[in-house]
Structure 1
Amino acid sequence: MSIIEKLKWRYATKKFNPSKKLSESQLTTLKEAFNLTALSYGLQTLKLVVVEDNKVRENLVGMSYGQRQVADASHLLVLCIQTEINETDVNEHFKTIKKIRQTPDAILAPFKEQLNTSIAEMSSAKKQDWATRQAYIALGNLMTVCAVEGIDSCPMEGFIPKDIDNALGLDKLKLNSVLLLPVGFRAEDDMFSTFKKVRKSISKTVIEL
């Protein structure tokens, strides 16, 4: 299938087949895709928590307003942001740049200082909002890769973050969950898989100047 056909094939899966599991190769692809997501400044203030344990995921269903996808999918991907973003993150980022690209400090220093200043001027609430927006970029990237790989997914905002954080121990890792993405394979009797996509025509959504 072409990329467009694959995007037409994907849908927000309402019912997963609990018996079908992602291969290690497929799971590795999703991890790599998450890690390669284009993010602001290249600063990776996100974490991806991969939950496979059935008992753990079953316990999360109630915290997700009864949505069975959380438990019935092959894996649950939890997109998280750091509770704190500061100079340490910036310094580690530029240390990694130097290690990988061998870029001299004289070239990196001005950019590092500028980024540290920008982050220092942000309120805690603005940092959280900024990081959350990055999480949505990662979500879109993951959903597209899933479609290309023939993996079903269902993006979810409908859950209770604090309860999920406590259940998974994310608070201890200084992380906040912001999005859930169950991934796996659709059940044969999920009627939503046969529904035609409802979209406006391109002429109504794309403006050419």
Structure 2
Amino acid sequence: MDFLAALEWRYAAKRMNGASIPESILSRILAATRLAPSSYGLQPYTIKLISDRSELARIHELAAPQPQVKECSHLLVFATMTDIDDAAVDQYIQLTARERDLDVTDLDGFSEAIKGTINGFATAERKHAWAAKQAYIALGFTLAAAAVERVDASPMEGFDPAALDYALGLEKENLKSAVIVALGYRDRARDPLSQMVKVRKPHSQLIQPL
């Protein structure tokens, strides 16, 4: 599908029909998610992929009461790392050196730049906010890739982060939920918004050359 046509087609489905996404299609969406850019390429987040129906129902009950959560095919939980430190940067630098066939010492300057940013945050909350911004970039890639595949993707902030973190045991992994997205297929019969025209600002109002 043409990319702009895919974006015209997509919307945040309010109801889903429970149909499963074929594995090949899901793999392509997740591959696009993985390729999303992030500051320094660090990807300071983990994405939990949940498809078990009983687990989806439990998340719906405990932390995210929107119907898409229990009606979707897969739920993605974007969770930021709460223990981003020099050791995490060193691990990333080692990966970079290995993938690019470099000596680790060749990346000393890059490493120090990342550590300067990471250690420059005054509070854990600010570090989380920075990491969450990186996760949102990946979320955007997920939404776009899903649209190309004709899969509905409903991003949601309206959930209880503390309850979701507890339900998934994220704290034990030094993770903190930032945003979730339900992947599946729209239920046109139960979602009147699926038939409505997309509303966006006119180009002239949104894009203003200087």
Check whether the contact 1:79–1:179 (CA below 8 A) recurs between aligned residues.
Answer: yes
Match for 1:39: what amino acid?
A: S
Structure 1, unaligned stretches of length 5 or more? Answer: none
Q: Runs of at least 4 residues of structure 1 off by over 4 A?
A: none
Identity of aligned residues (%): 35
Cα drift, residue 64 of structure 1: 4.4
TM-score, length basis structure 2: 0.94
> In the alignment, does 2:160 pair up with 1:195?
no
Match for 2:36: what amino acid?
A: T
Cα drift, residue 106 of structure 1: 4.2
Q: Match of 2:146? A: 146
> In the alignment, does 2:3 pair up with 1:3?
yes
Q: Deviations over 1:54-110 (max 9, x none)?
A: 111111113445211000011111111011110111111110111011123443111
Check whether the contact 1:34–1:48 (CA below 8 A) recurs between aligned residues.
Answer: no
| Residue correspondence of structure 1 range 1-209 to structure 2 within 5 A | 1-18=1-18, 20-64=19-63, 66-123=65-122, 124-189=124-189, 190-209=191-210
Size of the aligned set, in residue pairs, is: 208
Match for 1:147: what amino acid?
A: A
Looking at structure 2, the residues matched to 114 and 134 of structure 1 have their Cα atoms a distance apart, in angstroms, of 17
Q: Deviations over 1:104-152 (max 9, x none)?
A: 3443111112221222222322211100111111111100011011110
Match for 1:16: what amino acid?
A: M
Match for 1:12: what amino acid?
A: A
Aligned CA-pair RMSD? 1.3
Match for 2:100: what amino acid?
A: R
Check whether the contact 1:64–1:158 (CA below 8 A) recurs between aligned residues.
Answer: no
| SS of match in other structure, 2:5 | helix
Query: In the superposition, relative to structure 1, how do residues 171 and 106 fare at CA in structure 2: closer, same or farther (>3 Å)?
Result: closer
Which range moves more in the overlay, 192-201 or 117-126?
A: 117-126
Cα drift, residue 208 of structure 1: 1.8
Looking at structure 1, the residues matched to 77 and 50 of structure 2 have their Cα atoms a distance apart, in angstroms, of 8
| SS of match in other structure, 2:75 | strand
Q: Deviations over 1:139-173 (max 9, x none)?
A: 11100011011110111000001111111111111
Match for 1:161: what amino acid?
A: P
TM-score, length basis structure 1: 0.94
Structure 2, unaligned stretches of length 5 or more? Answer: none
